[in-house]
Each structure stands twice: as structure tokens, then as C-alpha cells.
Structure 1
Amino acid sequence: MNPLELASRYVVPPLMRRLVEVLVEEHGLSRVEAARKTGLSPAAVTRYLKGERGRLLEVRGLEEVESRVKDLAGKVASGGVSVPELQAEVASLAIYAMAKGYFCGFHAKLDPRFGPESCSACRNLLRPQR
């Protein structure tokens, strides 16, 4: 599985799940309001909150990622980010996390050719942007 496919199928959904959790639980947005501000459907927001979507990877324990998600949630909650800007920020965060090697073990489980000890695909292709 190539790194971009990994990002879209497995890394972006947990980031969106965490973003939705922060918007609803910490910023007090309703599910409908969170949906409107993120460009998701209310049903998708509900699925994220119930853990039915974006649950294969956990991003809470990744301090840098968690910090960036919370910063982004603050901007979203205040209306300071459009949906296209939000999508670009989430994609950028996914690339950053993958380039840092946070999901190498998971990638290797999906495709053993991408084992952390023998692969540098994400680190080389998706160099950290910060």
C-alpha cells in the first residue's frame, strides 16, 4: 500500500475523529454545528463520535499531533478556517505524522514490505514540513 493510500484510508479518518471529538467535547459544538464547520455530514460526525469511523489508529497519545489537532479545532470552532483550508490542514498533519514515522508499525501490518526497519518511504516522500 503506497503512503498516500495509507494516509487517505487510515490516517486522515482518526485525525478527523479526534478533531470532531475536540470540537464537540471541549468547544461545546453540537453535532450539527461540528458537521457544518468541518464539511462532514451529521451522520459522519456521529459515526466519528461513536468510534464507528476512524478507530483503527489512535492519535491521542501523539503529543505533537494532539497539540496540532487542538489548535486546529480552536480555529474551526471560532470560524477562522474554511472547509477547504481545514482539509488542507488535516492532510498536512497526516503527512507530518507519517513522515515522523508514527504509523510505520501499522503500515507494516498492512503490507510487510513497508516494515519500519527496512522502509523509509514515508520519511523520504513526506518529509516533515515544520
Structure 2
Amino acid sequence: MKTNAFEVASRYVYPSIRRRLVEVLREKGLKQTEIAELLHITQSAVSRYLKMDRGAFIDVSKFPDIDAEVTALAEKIVRERPSEYKIHSELVKMSLEMLGRGYVCAFHSKIDPEVNPSECNVCLELFG
């Protein structure tokens, strides 16, 4: 295994969840500058998420349970305007949930051919 679970989470899962969060906020009618302010990121980063230049490796909307959590977080962000640390904490939790539920195994094996999903249970054991 050349690419471990933490690398997959930080390089692919987390950005994909954040991209979905940006999409949900955009669907709620918010402008890029408003989304950037709420998420404590730059407007340029918001633009890249929306153009699929960032976080486009995993389609989080294909996982209804995670997508529902992203939608709930978006509503909470609009309503409560939490700190960047609270948002980060929630995104990390969702990233670990995706790993623990085995949603990322097939993707992991595509980016690292040495990973055999039928033998590797690292994420399921650690985060499941």
C-alpha cells in the first residue's frame, strides 16, 4: 500500500465533502462571496469547487446518509455561522464516517493498485 487511509482522506475525501457543501450552499441561493465568508475560505476556492477543479474525485451525493449530513451542516452554517474550527471538525467527522462505512475502498484501490479491498479492513476496523 503506497497510499494510506489518511492520505486518501486528506487529499480526496475531505475536499470532496467540502465541494459538496459548497454546492449545497449554492443551491440555497448563496453567492460565492457569501459561501466563502461562511466557510472561512477564499472566493477563489469556492469558484474552484463549483467548477469541479477541486474536490471532484468522489461524488458525495451518491451516499445519501453523508449527503444528508452535508445538507444539515449547510443549514446549520447558514443559521448559526459556526467558527472555521467547528466546520472543520464536522468535515473531518464526515470524512472518517465515509472511511468507516467502506465508501472509499473502491476509490482507494483505483488510485493505489496495491490495495486489495477484499483483504484490507483498516478503515472499517478503525473508523467503522
User: Structures share a fold, TM > 0.5?
Assistant: yes
Alignment of 1:11-22 (within 5 A): 11-22=13-24
Distance 1:116 1:93 in 2: 21
Percent identity at matched positions? 37
Higher relative contact order (CA 8 A, sep 6+): 2
The alignment of Structure 1 onto Structure 2 pairs a total of residues equal to 126
Provide structure 1 residue ranges, at least 5 long, that are not aligned to the other structure: none
The answer for the alignment partner of 1:84 in structure 2 is 85
TM-score normalized by the length of structure 1: 0.92
Alignment of 1:1-130 (within 5 A): 1-26=3-28, 28-127=29-128
Kept in 2, the 8 Å contact 1:107–1:115? The answer is: no
Q: By how many angstroms is 1:80 displaced?
A: 4.2
Kept in 2, the 8 Å contact 1:19–1:70? The answer is: yes
Instruction: Describe the shift of the 1:80–1:40 C-alpha distance in structure 2 as closer, same or farther (beyond 3 A).
Output: closer
Provide structure 2 residue ranges, at least 5 long, that are not aligned to the other structure: none
> Which has the higher mean CA deviation after the structures are superposed, 117-126 or 106-115?
106-115
TM-score normalized by the length of structure 2: 0.93
Q: By how many angstroms is 1:113 displaced?
A: 3.3
1:114 alignment partner, SS class: coil
* Structure 1 runs, 4 residues or longer, greater than 3 Å off: none
Q: By how many angstroms is 1:126 displaced?
A: 1.9
Residues 50-82 of structure 1, C-alpha deviations (whole Å, 9 max, x = no match): 111111111111010110000000001113422
Kept in 1, the 8 Å contact 2:38–2:81? The answer is: no
